[in-house]
Amino acid sequence: MKLGVMSPVLGGMSLRQMIEYLSSLGVQSLELGCGGYPGKAHCDAADFLAHPEKIEELKQMLAENHMDLPALACHGNPLHPDKAIAGRFESDFDNAVLLAEKLGVKTLVAFSGCPGDCPESKYPNWVT
């Protein structure tokens, strides 16, 4: 078993600061938020894909700090009744999938989403 942390809890730190801090505490695994509700404080998947050197820098930081990256986190609501919001979540998810491939990460943590309760809905209906 390894001790792991989901990165958004340290969103006030830079990526490097966060990795070095967690390593100093003995954390061995990182679930990196890269879009959607977890946010992009440490990793904007689209930006990393546009700048492959950032992918290599991340790999190097993890190796230097003896940490692995078993999962990316990109929880969103691609079924949101507001099509603009749904589109942003869908784009974040698509970029997270592509980034996971580049990083060799086999797990992407996500939400299935929740639609509105009628065609005129502006908000998801979480009532079940």
Phi, psi angle pair for 6, to nearest 5°? -90, 125
Count Cβ atoms below 10 Å from residue 76 Cβ, excluding itself: 23
Q: What is the DSSP letter of 1?
A: -
Q: DSSP state, 92?
A: H
In the chain, the amino acid numbered 105 is V
Reported as a single tens digit per residue, the pLDDT across 31-64 is 999 999 999 999 999 999 999 999 999 999 999 9
Q: What is the pTM of this model?
A: 0.93
Q: Structural domain boundaries of the chain?
A: 11-71+97-111
Residues 103, 63: contact at Cβ < 8 Å? no
In angstroms, the CA 81 to CA 121 distance is 6
What pLDDT sits at residue 128?
67
